[in-house]
């Protein structure tokens, strides 16, 4: 599933083609994805101007001139692709329609925004701009925002017996983090992913927070990580997977000490770590 860096990269790719521009026609080609689409979604989007494009956690939020906000979640395999416009240094012509092009936004400029989702685990919804949405209401602070700091994390870990790896994936503690970047941040901070969250010292937490920020910032700069389905808005791959220290590297030598990288399962997800550096 795309994590914060991938969603932020998609947002930045979509912004020039969407922000300030009118959705001339919206096509909704099926009644649902993970959940049913809102009533009259195509009608409500058609003619609306996109006033701004935001990200909250792993969600994209397009604020519209109709005083509604389009919420988008990419799910496991969702892609938001731009065609008929220049993205970065490249012009992307309109491709032939594909089977899983479920929502298509034709912009007044001639650009086309296509939501393609082969597995249909993604989601779209419309809500009043500024209203609380059930999917967003319980989210913790953004890890790159000012509200996420060592004091916040320390307070949320007090007395917690669950492993730090699992706790960092809890979107109520900090939003947007996923399996890849938690593994990488814990490696950089030299913290054992199986340790109880409440056992971390203030010094360890103070080291961990900037490591989380650094990993996310570097991943965004690299366009995210492309492992299976993820593509940037222009269709390009991300490149941060080439910088992984531990994730997906079971049996490979640790870049710091050459000990083979280990893999365990925590909460149904693979955790990759160095048994020597993170003991």
Query: ∠ at Cα 224 (222, 230), nearest 5°?
Result: 135
269 carries an active-site annotation: yes
Contacts of 120 (CB under 8 A, 6+ apart): 32, 33, 34, 75, 100, 102
2 flagged as catalytic: yes
Active-site option among 11, 55, 58, 231: 58
| Contacts with 165 (C-beta within 8 Å, 6 or more apart), sequence order | 182, 183, 186, 193, 194, 266, 271
What is the token pair recorded at 40? 């009259």
Q: Which ranges constitute the DSSP H helices of 19-72?
A: 41-45
Catalytic residue among 3, 6, 68, 106: 3
Burial call 217-250: b when 16+ CB within 10 Å, e when fewer: eebbebbbbbeebbbbbbebebebbeebbbbebe
Reading the block at residue 98, the tokens are 């594909």
Catalytic residue (one of 2, 5, 16, 163): 2
Contact 177, 143 (CB under 8 A): yes
Asked whether the beta carbons of 115 and 103 are under 8 A apart, the reply is yes
> In three state form, how does the secondary structure of 162-203 look?
CEHHHHHCCCCCCCCCCHHHHHHHHHHHCCCCCCEHHHCCHH
Active-site amino acid positions: 2-3, 58, 269
């Amino acid at each position: 599933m795309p994590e914060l860096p991938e969603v932020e990269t998609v947002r930045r790719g979509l912004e020039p083609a969407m922000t300030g521009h009118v959705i001339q026609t919206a096509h909704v080609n099926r009644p649902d994805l993970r959940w049913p689409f809102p009533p009259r979604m195509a009608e409500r989007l058609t003619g609306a101007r996109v006033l701004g494009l935001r990200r909250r956690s792993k969600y994209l939020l397009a604020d519209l001139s109709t005083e509604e906000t389009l919420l988008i979640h990419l799910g496991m395999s969702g892609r938001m692709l731009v065609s008929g416009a220049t993205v970065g240094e490249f012009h992307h012509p309109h491709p032939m329609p594909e089977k899983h092009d479920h929502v298509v936004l034709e912009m007044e400029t001639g650009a086309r925004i296509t939501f393609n989702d082969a597995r249909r685990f993604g989601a779209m919804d419309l809500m009043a701009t500024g209203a609380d949405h059930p999917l967003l209401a319980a989210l913790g602070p953004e890890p790159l925002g000012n509200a996420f700091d060592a004091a916040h994390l320390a307070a949320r870990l007090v007395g917690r017996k669950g492993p730090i790896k699992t706790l960092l994936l809890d979107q109520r503690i900090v939003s947007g983090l996923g399996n890849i970047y938690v593994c990488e941040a814990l490696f950089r901070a030299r913290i054992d992913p199986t340790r109880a969250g409440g056992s971390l010292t203030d010094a360890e937490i103070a080291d961990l927070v900037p490591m989380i920020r650094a990993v996310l910032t570097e991943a965004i700069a690299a366009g995210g990580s492309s492992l299976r389905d993820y593509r940037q808005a222009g269709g390009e791959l991300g490149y941060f997977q080439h910088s992984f220290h531990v994730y997906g590297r079971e049996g490979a030598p640790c870049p710091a000490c050459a000990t083979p990288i280990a893999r365990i399962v925590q909460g149904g997800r693979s955790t990759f770590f160095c048994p020597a550096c993170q003991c």
